[in-house]
Protein backbone atom coordinates (compact mmCIF):
# COMPACT_ATOMS: atom_id res chain seq x y z
CA UNK A 1 0.00 0.00 0.00
CA UNK A 2 0.97 3.65 -0.16
CA UNK A 3 2.52 3.69 3.33
CA UNK A 4 4.83 0.93 2.30
CA UNK A 5 6.89 1.66 -0.73
CA UNK A 6 9.14 -1.21 -1.67
CA UNK A 7 12.02 -0.75 -3.95
CA UNK A 8 12.50 -3.92 -5.88
CA UNK A 9 15.28 -4.96 -8.14
CA UNK A 10 13.73 -3.87 -11.47
CA UNK A 11 15.14 -6.88 -13.32
CA UNK A 12 13.67 -9.35 -10.83
CA UNK A 13 10.37 -7.50 -10.82
CA UNK A 14 10.19 -7.56 -14.62
CA UNK A 15 10.93 -11.27 -14.63
CA UNK A 16 8.21 -11.89 -12.02
CA UNK A 17 5.66 -9.85 -13.93
CA UNK A 18 6.48 -11.66 -17.16
CA UNK A 19 5.96 -15.02 -15.45
CA UNK A 20 2.60 -13.98 -13.99
CA UNK A 21 1.52 -12.45 -17.31
CA UNK A 22 2.32 -15.78 -18.98
CA UNK A 23 -0.19 -17.44 -16.63
CA UNK A 24 2.37 -18.97 -14.27
CA UNK A 25 1.62 -19.28 -10.58
CA UNK A 26 3.65 -18.31 -7.55
CA UNK A 27 4.38 -20.84 -4.80
CA UNK A 28 5.21 -20.36 -1.13
CA UNK A 29 8.89 -19.68 -0.66
CA UNK A 30 9.43 -18.38 -4.18
CA UNK A 31 10.60 -14.83 -4.63
CA UNK A 32 7.79 -12.28 -4.95
CA UNK A 33 7.72 -8.47 -4.81
CA UNK A 34 7.19 -7.17 -1.27
CA UNK A 35 4.06 -5.35 -2.38
CA UNK A 36 2.66 -8.51 -3.97
CA UNK A 37 3.17 -10.37 -0.70
CA UNK A 38 1.51 -7.61 1.27
CA UNK A 39 -1.49 -7.28 -1.05
CA UNK A 40 -2.00 -11.06 -1.19
CA UNK A 41 -1.81 -11.26 2.59
CA UNK A 42 -4.32 -8.41 3.03
CA UNK A 43 -6.72 -10.03 0.57
CA UNK A 44 -6.51 -13.56 1.97
CA UNK A 45 -6.60 -12.44 5.59
CA UNK A 46 -9.79 -10.48 4.91
CA UNK A 47 -11.25 -13.50 3.13
CA UNK A 48 -10.41 -15.74 6.11
CA UNK A 49 -11.93 -13.20 8.53
CA UNK A 50 -15.08 -13.11 6.42
CA UNK A 51 -15.51 -16.88 6.55
CA UNK A 52 -15.27 -16.97 10.31
CA UNK A 53 -17.48 -13.90 10.83
CA UNK A 54 -19.83 -15.14 8.11
CA UNK A 55 -20.61 -18.18 10.21
CA UNK A 56 -22.12 -15.94 12.88
CA UNK A 57 -25.39 -14.65 11.37
CA UNK A 58 -26.37 -18.17 10.31
CA UNK A 59 -25.20 -19.73 13.54
CA UNK A 60 -27.79 -17.59 15.32
CA UNK A 61 -30.48 -19.54 13.46
CA UNK A 62 -29.33 -23.08 14.31
CA UNK A 63 -31.46 -23.29 17.49
CA UNK A 64 -34.42 -21.73 15.68
CA UNK A 65 -34.33 -23.67 12.39
CA UNK A 66 -37.89 -24.72 11.53
CA UNK A 67 -37.25 -28.48 11.09
CA UNK A 68 -34.68 -31.02 12.20
CA UNK A 69 -33.37 -31.55 8.67
CA UNK A 70 -32.94 -27.79 8.18
CA UNK A 71 -31.13 -27.63 11.51
CA UNK A 72 -28.71 -30.39 10.49
CA UNK A 73 -28.05 -28.89 7.06
CA UNK A 74 -27.47 -25.45 8.59
CA UNK A 75 -25.09 -26.83 11.20
CA UNK A 76 -23.10 -28.58 8.45
CA UNK A 77 -22.95 -25.36 6.44
CA UNK A 78 -21.68 -23.37 9.42
CA UNK A 79 -19.00 -26.03 9.95
CA UNK A 80 -17.99 -25.67 6.28
CA UNK A 81 -17.60 -21.90 6.69
CA UNK A 82 -15.41 -22.24 9.76
CA UNK A 83 -13.42 -24.89 7.88
CA UNK A 84 -12.90 -22.39 5.05
CA UNK A 85 -11.53 -19.91 7.58
CA UNK A 86 -9.02 -22.53 8.76
CA UNK A 87 -7.90 -23.26 5.19
CA UNK A 88 -7.55 -19.57 4.38
CA UNK A 89 -5.69 -18.57 7.54
CA UNK A 90 -3.23 -21.33 6.72
CA UNK A 91 -2.72 -19.91 3.21
CA UNK A 92 -2.31 -16.40 4.64
CA UNK A 93 0.27 -17.79 7.06
CA UNK A 94 2.45 -18.92 4.18
CA UNK A 95 2.85 -15.21 3.36
CA UNK A 96 4.40 -14.53 6.75
CA UNK A 97 1.85 -13.67 9.42
CA UNK A 98 0.97 -16.21 12.13
CA UNK A 99 -2.59 -17.41 12.63
CA UNK A 100 -2.44 -16.30 16.27
CA UNK A 101 -1.59 -12.78 15.08
CA UNK A 102 -4.38 -12.78 12.50
CA UNK A 103 -7.02 -13.87 15.01
CA UNK A 104 -5.83 -11.06 17.30
CA UNK A 105 -6.01 -8.59 14.37
CA UNK A 106 -9.60 -9.65 13.73
CA UNK A 107 -11.05 -9.55 17.21
CA UNK A 108 -9.25 -6.35 18.14
CA UNK A 109 -10.70 -4.67 15.06
CA UNK A 110 -7.42 -4.11 13.17
CA UNK A 111 -8.37 -6.12 10.11
CA UNK A 112 -11.52 -6.13 8.02
CA UNK A 113 -14.23 -8.59 7.13
CA UNK A 114 -16.82 -8.46 4.36
CA UNK A 115 -19.60 -5.87 4.60
CA UNK A 116 -22.47 -8.39 4.45
CA UNK A 117 -21.49 -9.96 7.78
CA UNK A 118 -22.02 -6.69 9.63
CA UNK A 119 -25.80 -6.94 9.14
CA UNK A 120 -28.42 -8.74 11.24
CA UNK A 121 -30.21 -11.94 10.21
CA UNK A 122 -33.63 -10.96 11.49
CA UNK A 123 -35.85 -13.77 10.22
CA UNK A 124 -35.57 -17.29 8.79
CA UNK A 125 -35.95 -15.70 5.35
CA UNK A 126 -32.64 -13.91 5.96
CA UNK A 127 -31.04 -17.35 6.16
CA UNK A 128 -32.45 -18.14 2.70
CA UNK A 129 -31.18 -14.81 1.34
CA UNK A 130 -27.73 -15.33 2.85
CA UNK A 131 -27.44 -18.86 1.47
CA UNK A 132 -28.59 -17.97 -2.04
CA UNK A 133 -27.49 -14.39 -2.59
CA UNK A 134 -24.61 -13.75 -0.20
CA UNK A 135 -23.03 -17.11 -1.01
CA UNK A 136 -23.94 -16.52 -4.65
CA UNK A 137 -22.14 -13.17 -4.59
CA UNK A 138 -19.13 -14.74 -2.88
CA UNK A 139 -19.13 -17.49 -5.50
CA UNK A 140 -18.62 -14.92 -8.31
CA UNK A 141 -15.51 -13.54 -6.62
CA UNK A 142 -14.18 -16.89 -5.48
CA UNK A 143 -14.86 -18.63 -8.77
CA UNK A 144 -12.70 -16.04 -10.50
CA UNK A 145 -9.96 -16.42 -7.90
CA UNK A 146 -9.47 -20.09 -8.79
CA UNK A 147 -7.06 -18.64 -11.36
CA UNK A 148 -5.31 -16.39 -8.84
CA UNK A 149 -1.58 -16.13 -9.39
CA UNK A 150 -0.88 -17.21 -5.79
CA UNK A 151 -1.03 -20.99 -6.18
CA UNK A 152 -1.87 -22.00 -2.56
CA UNK A 153 -4.83 -19.59 -2.64
CA UNK A 154 -6.04 -20.90 -6.01
CA UNK A 155 -5.89 -24.51 -4.76
CA UNK A 156 -7.88 -23.75 -1.61
CA UNK A 157 -10.39 -21.78 -3.66
CA UNK A 158 -11.21 -24.89 -5.69
CA UNK A 159 -12.15 -26.76 -2.55
CA UNK A 160 -14.14 -23.79 -1.18
CA UNK A 161 -16.11 -23.31 -4.40
CA UNK A 162 -16.96 -27.00 -4.40
CA UNK A 163 -18.58 -26.57 -0.99
CA UNK A 164 -20.16 -23.18 -1.68
CA UNK A 165 -21.99 -24.80 -4.55
CA UNK A 166 -23.75 -27.09 -2.05
CA UNK A 167 -24.65 -24.07 0.06
CA UNK A 168 -26.32 -22.29 -2.82
CA UNK A 169 -28.32 -25.41 -3.66
CA UNK A 170 -29.36 -25.77 -0.02
CA UNK A 171 -30.28 -22.07 0.03
CA UNK A 172 -32.39 -22.37 -3.12
CA UNK A 173 -34.33 -25.16 -1.43
CA UNK A 174 -35.06 -22.95 1.59
CA UNK A 175 -35.82 -20.00 -0.73
CA UNK A 176 -38.28 -21.98 -2.90
CA UNK A 177 -40.02 -23.45 0.12
CA UNK A 178 -40.72 -19.94 1.38
CA UNK A 179 -41.58 -18.66 -2.10
CA UNK A 180 -44.15 -21.46 -2.50
CA UNK A 181 -45.44 -20.90 1.03
CA UNK A 182 -48.15 -18.84 2.70
CA UNK A 183 -48.62 -15.10 2.05
CA UNK A 184 -46.90 -14.48 5.38
CA UNK A 185 -43.86 -16.53 4.34
CA UNK A 186 -43.72 -14.71 1.00
CA UNK A 187 -43.95 -11.33 2.74
CA UNK A 188 -41.11 -12.37 5.05
CA UNK A 189 -38.94 -13.33 2.08
CA UNK A 190 -39.71 -10.09 0.21
CA UNK A 191 -38.78 -8.14 3.34
CA UNK A 192 -35.44 -9.94 3.58
CA UNK A 193 -34.68 -9.36 -0.12
CA UNK A 194 -35.47 -5.66 0.32
CA UNK A 195 -33.17 -5.29 3.33
CA UNK A 196 -30.28 -7.23 1.73
CA UNK A 197 -30.32 -5.58 -1.68
CA UNK A 198 -27.95 -2.67 -0.94
CA UNK A 199 -25.46 -4.76 1.08
CA UNK A 200 -25.38 -7.20 -1.86
CA UNK A 201 -24.55 -4.42 -4.33
CA UNK A 202 -21.92 -3.17 -1.87
CA UNK A 203 -20.41 -6.66 -1.59
CA UNK A 204 -18.39 -6.26 -4.79
CA UNK A 205 -16.82 -3.00 -3.67
CA UNK A 206 -16.67 0.51 -5.02
CA UNK A 207 -17.29 1.24 -8.70
CA UNK A 208 -14.32 0.69 -10.97
CA UNK A 209 -12.08 3.64 -11.34
CA UNK A 210 -9.01 3.53 -13.41
CA UNK A 211 -6.54 3.48 -10.56
CA UNK A 212 -2.97 2.26 -10.79
CA UNK A 213 -3.70 0.09 -7.75
CA UNK A 214 -6.59 -1.85 -9.36
CA UNK A 215 -4.60 -2.06 -12.55
CA UNK A 216 -1.67 -3.60 -10.68
CA UNK A 217 -3.88 -6.04 -8.77
CA UNK A 218 -5.35 -7.24 -12.06
CA UNK A 219 -1.95 -7.40 -13.73
CA UNK A 220 -0.60 -9.49 -10.86
CA UNK A 221 -3.77 -11.64 -10.93
CA UNK A 222 -4.47 -11.08 -7.26
CA UNK A 223 -7.71 -9.77 -8.67
CA UNK A 224 -9.03 -11.61 -11.67
CA UNK A 225 -12.07 -9.51 -12.58
CA UNK A 226 -12.96 -5.93 -11.71
CA UNK A 227 -15.60 -5.05 -9.10
CA UNK A 228 -18.13 -3.96 -11.67
CA UNK A 229 -17.56 -7.02 -13.85
CA UNK A 230 -18.27 -9.26 -10.86
CA UNK A 231 -21.30 -7.21 -9.81
CA UNK A 232 -22.77 -7.50 -13.30
CA UNK A 233 -22.05 -11.24 -13.39
CA UNK A 234 -23.93 -11.56 -10.09
CA UNK A 235 -26.90 -9.48 -11.27
CA UNK A 236 -27.22 -11.51 -14.47
CA UNK A 237 -27.49 -14.73 -12.49
CA UNK A 238 -29.45 -13.63 -9.45
CA UNK A 239 -31.92 -10.89 -10.48
CA UNK A 240 -33.94 -13.52 -12.42
CA UNK A 241 -34.14 -15.70 -9.29
CA UNK A 242 -35.88 -12.81 -7.51
CA UNK A 243 -38.13 -11.82 -10.40
CA UNK A 244 -39.14 -15.33 -11.53
CA UNK A 245 -40.46 -16.10 -8.04
CA UNK A 246 -42.63 -12.97 -8.26
CA UNK A 247 -40.59 -10.82 -5.89
CA UNK A 248 -39.49 -7.24 -6.40
CA UNK A 249 -36.00 -5.83 -6.46
CA UNK A 250 -36.19 -2.66 -4.33
CA UNK A 251 -34.73 -0.46 -7.05
CA UNK A 252 -37.15 1.21 -9.49
CA UNK A 253 -34.19 2.18 -11.65
CA UNK A 254 -33.12 -1.44 -12.21
CA UNK A 255 -33.38 -2.44 -15.85
CA UNK A 256 -31.67 -4.77 -18.27
CA UNK A 257 -29.90 -3.03 -21.08
CA UNK A 258 -29.90 -5.31 -24.09
CA UNK A 259 -27.32 -3.32 -26.01
CA UNK A 260 -24.60 -3.41 -23.36
CA UNK A 261 -25.78 -6.72 -21.80
CA UNK A 262 -25.66 -5.08 -18.40
CA UNK A 263 -28.02 -4.11 -15.64
CA UNK A 264 -28.47 -0.44 -14.93
CA UNK A 265 -29.12 0.19 -11.24
CA UNK A 266 -29.40 3.09 -8.83
CA UNK A 267 -26.07 3.88 -7.18
CA UNK A 268 -26.22 2.69 -3.60
CA UNK A 269 -24.90 4.91 -0.80
CA UNK A 270 -21.17 4.17 -0.91
CA UNK A 271 -20.64 6.03 2.37
CA UNK A 272 -22.52 3.23 4.10
CA UNK A 273 -20.04 0.70 2.71
CA UNK A 274 -17.15 2.78 4.04
CA UNK A 275 -18.75 3.04 7.48
CA UNK A 276 -19.37 -0.72 7.59
CA UNK A 277 -15.77 -1.27 6.49
CA UNK A 278 -14.65 0.63 9.59
CA UNK A 279 -16.61 -1.86 11.74
CA UNK A 280 -19.46 0.62 12.19
CA UNK A 281 -22.18 -1.60 10.74
CA UNK A 282 -25.36 -2.47 12.64
CA UNK A 283 -23.93 -5.72 14.06
CA UNK A 284 -20.15 -5.11 13.91
CA UNK A 285 -19.61 -4.33 17.58
CA UNK A 286 -21.90 -7.08 18.86
CA UNK A 287 -20.34 -9.83 16.72
CA UNK A 288 -16.78 -8.77 17.48
CA UNK A 289 -17.66 -8.68 21.18
CA UNK A 290 -18.99 -12.24 20.94
CA UNK A 291 -15.77 -13.37 19.21
CA UNK A 292 -13.68 -11.67 21.91
CA UNK A 293 -15.75 -13.29 24.63
CA UNK A 294 -15.29 -16.78 23.15
CA UNK A 295 -11.60 -16.11 22.64
CA UNK A 296 -11.27 -15.28 26.34
CA UNK A 297 -13.33 -18.23 27.45
CA UNK A 298 -11.31 -20.66 25.29
CA UNK A 299 -7.98 -19.36 26.46
CA UNK A 300 -7.44 -22.29 28.83
CA UNK A 301 -7.92 -24.69 25.91
CA UNK A 302 -5.25 -22.96 23.84
CA UNK A 303 -2.88 -22.96 26.77
CA UNK A 304 -3.49 -26.63 27.52
CA UNK A 305 -2.93 -27.55 23.86
CA UNK A 306 0.28 -25.54 23.70
CA UNK A 307 1.67 -27.10 26.87
CA UNK A 308 0.71 -30.56 25.73
CA UNK A 309 2.49 -29.82 22.46
CA UNK A 310 5.66 -28.89 24.32
CA UNK A 311 5.50 -32.11 26.32
CA UNK A 312 4.78 -34.24 23.27
CA UNK A 313 7.50 -32.61 21.15
CA UNK B 1 5.24 -24.14 34.15
CA UNK B 2 5.30 -20.71 32.57
CA UNK B 3 4.78 -19.93 28.92
CA UNK B 4 8.11 -21.47 28.00
CA UNK B 5 9.53 -21.77 24.49
CA UNK B 6 6.85 -20.69 22.06
CA UNK B 7 6.18 -23.15 19.28
CA UNK B 8 6.70 -21.32 16.03
CA UNK B 9 3.15 -20.78 14.91
CA UNK B 10 4.39 -20.70 11.34
CA UNK B 11 5.87 -24.17 11.02
CA UNK B 12 6.24 -26.24 14.20
CA UNK B 13 2.57 -26.99 14.68
CA UNK B 14 1.64 -27.36 11.01
CA UNK B 15 0.95 -30.82 9.61
CA UNK B 16 0.48 -31.91 6.02
CA UNK B 17 -2.54 -34.18 5.47
CA UNK B 18 -2.65 -37.05 2.98
CA UNK B 19 -5.99 -38.68 2.19
CA UNK B 20 -6.49 -42.13 0.65
CA UNK B 21 -9.89 -42.37 -1.05
CA UNK B 22 -9.98 -46.18 -1.46
CA UNK B 23 -7.43 -48.93 -0.93
CA UNK B 24 -6.81 -48.87 -4.69
CA UNK B 25 -5.64 -45.24 -4.51
CA UNK B 26 -2.43 -43.70 -3.26
CA UNK B 27 -2.47 -41.20 -0.39
CA UNK B 28 -2.76 -37.72 -1.86
CA UNK B 29 -1.79 -34.42 -0.23
CA UNK B 30 -4.96 -32.43 0.44
CA UNK B 31 -3.93 -29.59 2.76
CA UNK B 32 -2.72 -28.69 6.24
CA UNK B 33 -3.90 -28.57 9.83
CA UNK B 34 -2.53 -26.92 12.97
CA UNK B 35 -2.11 -29.34 15.87
CA UNK B 36 0.14 -29.93 18.85
CA UNK B 37 0.37 -33.72 18.52
CA UNK B 38 -0.36 -36.48 15.98
CA UNK B 39 -3.70 -37.50 17.49
CA UNK B 40 -5.04 -33.98 17.35
CA UNK B 41 -3.69 -33.61 13.82
CA UNK B 42 -5.54 -36.77 12.73
CA UNK B 43 -8.76 -35.67 14.40
CA UNK B 44 -8.67 -32.24 12.75
CA UNK B 45 -7.69 -33.80 9.43
CA UNK B 46 -10.76 -36.03 9.58
CA UNK B 47 -13.02 -33.05 10.29
CA UNK B 48 -11.44 -30.84 7.68
CA UNK B 49 -10.66 -33.18 4.76
CA UNK B 50 -12.97 -36.17 5.07
CA UNK B 51 -16.36 -34.50 5.51
CA UNK B 52 -17.54 -35.23 1.98
CA UNK B 53 -14.76 -36.85 0.04
CA UNK B 54 -14.37 -40.62 0.37
CA UNK B 55 -11.64 -41.75 2.74
CA UNK B 56 -10.33 -45.02 4.13
CA UNK B 57 -7.08 -43.74 5.62
CA UNK B 58 -5.33 -40.51 6.61
CA UNK B 59 -1.67 -39.66 7.08
CA UNK B 60 -0.38 -36.58 8.88
CA UNK B 61 3.24 -35.47 8.64
CA UNK B 62 4.93 -32.58 10.42
CA UNK B 63 6.10 -29.93 7.99
CA UNK B 64 9.53 -30.03 9.58
CA UNK B 65 9.83 -33.65 8.37
CA UNK B 66 9.13 -32.87 4.73
CA UNK B 67 12.02 -32.38 2.34
CA UNK B 68 11.32 -30.97 -1.07
CA UNK B 69 12.96 -29.94 -4.30
CA UNK B 70 13.05 -26.26 -5.19
CA UNK B 71 10.59 -24.85 -7.71
CA UNK B 72 13.52 -22.90 -9.09
CA UNK B 73 15.11 -26.22 -10.02
CA UNK B 74 12.05 -27.52 -11.89
CA UNK B 75 14.15 -27.60 -15.08
CA UNK B 76 15.82 -30.77 -13.82
CA UNK B 77 12.59 -32.69 -14.47
CA UNK B 78 12.71 -31.78 -18.12
CA UNK B 79 14.68 -34.42 -20.03
CA UNK B 80 17.84 -33.06 -21.62
CA UNK B 81 17.64 -35.48 -24.51
CA UNK B 82 14.85 -37.25 -26.34
CA UNK B 83 13.31 -39.74 -23.90
CA UNK B 84 10.26 -40.63 -25.93
CA UNK B 85 11.27 -44.30 -25.64
CA UNK B 86 9.87 -44.11 -22.11
CA UNK B 87 6.36 -43.78 -23.54
CA UNK B 88 4.43 -46.53 -25.28
CA UNK B 89 3.35 -44.27 -28.11
CA UNK B 90 6.86 -43.99 -29.42
CA UNK B 91 7.29 -47.68 -30.23
CA UNK B 92 5.96 -47.33 -33.74
CA UNK B 93 7.46 -50.50 -35.17
CA UNK B 94 5.89 -52.62 -32.49
CA UNK B 95 2.50 -50.98 -33.13
CA UNK B 96 2.85 -51.53 -36.88
CA UNK B 97 3.58 -55.25 -36.37
CA UNK B 98 0.52 -55.64 -34.14
CA UNK B 99 -1.73 -53.73 -36.57
CA UNK B 100 -0.62 -55.78 -39.55
CA UNK B 101 -1.01 -59.04 -37.63
CA UNK B 102 -4.54 -57.95 -36.73
CA UNK B 103 -5.42 -57.11 -40.33
CA UNK B 104 -4.09 -60.48 -41.57
CA UNK B 105 -6.20 -62.25 -38.96
CA UNK B 106 -9.30 -60.28 -40.03
CA UNK B 107 -8.65 -61.16 -43.69
CA UNK B 108 -8.35 -64.84 -42.90
CA UNK B 109 -11.62 -64.94 -40.94
Tens digits of residue pLDDT in B53-67: 999 999 999 988 888
> Which residue among B3, B13, B31 sits closest to A87, beta carbon to beta carbon?
B31
Give the per-residue pLDDT at A5. Answer: 52
Is A101 part of a structural domain of the chain?
yes
- Confidence at B85, pLDDT banded by 50, 70, 90: confident
Q: What is the mean pLDDT of residues A267-275?
A: 95
The verdict on residue B61 lying in a domain is yes
* B29 part of a folded domain: yes
Which of B61, B104, B9 is CA-nearest to residue A305? B9
Rounded to 5 degrees, φ, ψ at A123 are: -130, 175
User: Is A87 within the bounds of a domain?
Assistant: yes
**What is the mean pLDDT of the segment spanning A176-198?**
98
Q: Which residue has the higher pLDDT, B37 or B19?
A: B19
pLDDT at B6 over 50: no
The DSSP string of B66-93 is -----GGGGGGGS-SS--GGGSGGG-HH
Within a domain: B38? yes
Does the residue A2 lie in any domain?
no
Q: Which of A48, A79, A308, A313 to mutate to test the interface with B (most CBs of B within 10 A)?
A: A313
Are A30 and B32 an interchain contact pair (Cβ–Cβ within 8 Å)?
no
Cα–Cα distance, A180 to A70 (Å, whole number): 17
- Classify residue B19: in a domain, yes or no: yes
pTM, rounded to two decimals: 0.89
* Domain that residue A32 falls in: 10-312
Q: With a cut of 50, say whether residue A237 has pLDDT above it.
A: yes
Backbone angles phi, psi at A267, to 5 degrees: -60, 125
pLDDT at A78 over 50: yes
The percent of residues above 70 in pLDDT, for chain B, comes to 88
- Please report whether residue A32 resides in a domain: yes
Residue A223 pLDDT exceeds 50:
yes
Residue A1 belongs to some domain of the structure: no
Kindly state the percentage of chain A with pLDDT values over 90: 89
Q: Is residue B96 one of the residues assigned to a domain? A: no
Q: What is the ipTM of this complex?
A: 0.87
Q: How many domains does chain B have?
A: 1
Residue with more model confidence, A243 or B103? A243
Q: Give the B-side interface with A, CB within 8 Å.
A: 1, 3-5, 7, 9-10, 12-14, 31-34, 36-37, 40, 47-48, 51-52, 71-72
Overall domain count for chain A: 1
Interval A22-34 mean pLDDT: 93
User: Quick one: pLDDT at residue A210?
Assistant: 64
In a domain, A5, yes or no: no
**A3 in a domain, yes or no?**
no
Please tell me the distance in Å from A308's CA to the nearest CA on chain B.
7
Chain B residue with CA closest to A309: the answer is B36
With CB atoms and an 8 Å threshold, state whether B71 touches A313.
Answer: no
Is A212 in the B-facing interface, judged by CB distances under 8 Å? no
Position A230 pLDDT exceeds 90 = yes
Q: Which of the residue ranges A204-208, B30-34, B104-108 has the most confident prediction, judged by mean pLDDT?
A: B30-34
The CATH number linked to A81 is 1.20.1260.10
Q: Which of A86, A93, A310 sits opposite B48 (nearest CB)?
A: A86
Tell me, what DSSP letter sits at residue B36? S
CB within 8 Å: A90 and B36: no
SS3 A88: helix
**For position B39, what pLDDT does the model report?**
93
Confidence of residue B104 (pLDDT cuts 50, 70, 90): confident
Looking at chain A, the whole-number percentage of residues with pLDDT higher than 70 is: 97
- Asked if residue A133 is part of any domain, the answer here is yes
- What residues make up the domain containing B64? 12-74
Tell me whether strands B28-34 and B57-62 are parallel, antiparallel or unpaired. unpaired
A-B CB pairs within 8 A amount to: 53
- The pLDDT of B31-44, averaged and rounded, is 94
Counts of helices then strands in chain B (DSSP H, E): 2, 3
Residue B97 lies in a domain: no
pLDDT value for B2: 38
Q: Please check the confidence at residue A3 and state whether its pLDDT lies above 60.
A: no
A151-170 pLDDT, tens digit per residue, is 999 999 999 999 999 999 99
Assign B95 a pLDDT band (cuts: 50, 70, 90): confident
CATH number of the domain at B52, please: 3.10.20.520
Q: Nearest chain A Cα to B5, which residue?
A: A310
Helices (H), chain A: 10-21, 34-59, 68-93, 99-107, 124-129, 135-145, 151-179, 183-203, 212-219, 227-244, 270-277, 284-297, 299-312
The reported pLDDT for the residue numbered B11 is 60
Read off the pLDDT band of B4 (50, 70, 90): very low
Amino acid sequence: MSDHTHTEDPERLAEFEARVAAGEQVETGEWMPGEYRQEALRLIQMHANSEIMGAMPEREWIPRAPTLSRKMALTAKVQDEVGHAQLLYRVAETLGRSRVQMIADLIEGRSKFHNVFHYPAETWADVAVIQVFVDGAAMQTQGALRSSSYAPYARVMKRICYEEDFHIRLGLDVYRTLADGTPRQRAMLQDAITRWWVPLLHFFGMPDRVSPHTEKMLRWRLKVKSNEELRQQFLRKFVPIIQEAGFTVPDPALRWDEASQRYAYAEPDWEELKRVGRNQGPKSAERLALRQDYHRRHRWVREAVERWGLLAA
Amino acid sequence: MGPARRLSALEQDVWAVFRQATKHDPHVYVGDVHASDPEMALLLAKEQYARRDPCVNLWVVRYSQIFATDYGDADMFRPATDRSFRFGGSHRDQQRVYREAGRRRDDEE
